[in-house]
Amino acid sequence: MKIRVLILCMLMFGLAACNRGNVNDVQQNANGGIDATISLTEQEVNDTVAEALAKQGNPLLRNPKIDLQPGQLVINGEHERRDGQGTVSGSITVTITLQNGTLLPQITKADIEGWDATDSRIAEFNQKLTDAFNRRANRDNKQITFTAITITDTNLTFTVNIKRA
């Protein structure tokens, strides 16, 4: 369940880099490499999240609806209770910041009936998200570095520096 949300976030950013969003600005960086700014609309983020979740066997949330808000994104959807007692509405609020050129996603709020969102469980989940993004960045031999991320009520925009191998 935790891994699915992580995969969802990674796919969202990965697909954005593969022409899912608009590349607004590409410039040569004075320190080496190229800087590219990629912007996703709320609908593009929603489509990407829905596509990623559709590939999961039993996702934490189904039928996601993304609500971009300044500094965060809220994922609303339906949760199939693990105790077999039906489907309930739920939401997860995620912030994404930068730390040493990698993305640092953090669930700041989880409101899903039947899913125990204790402080320790959220802290563990946040650490797993962080570790996964760091592994992803290291997979490319640190050739891609995130330099900026902004979430507004209409767009999710991030800038990456891409260095040659």
Residue 90: HSE in the Cβ half-sphere, 13 Å Cα cutoff:
22
Q: What pLDDT score does 31 carry?
A: 82
Q: What is the mean pLDDT of each run of 10 residues along the chain (165 residues)?
A: 44 48 80 86 83 67 91 91 85 88 82 75 66 55 80 91 75
Contact, 79 vs 87, CB < 8 A?
A: yes
Q: What pLDDT score does 13 carry?
A: 52
Report pTM. Answer: 0.72
Q: CA 75 to CA 84: how far, in whole Å?
A: 22
Contact, 93 vs 76, CB < 8 A?
A: no
- Other CB atoms within a 10 A radius of the CB of residue 77 amount to 21
Q: CA 150 to CA 148: how far, in whole Å?
A: 7
Give me the domain span that covers residue 145: 2-162
Q: What pLDDT score does 39 carry?
A: 87
The structural domain count of the chain equals 1
Q: CA 152 to CA 165: how far, in whole Å?
A: 33
Q: What pLDDT score does 19 carry?
A: 47
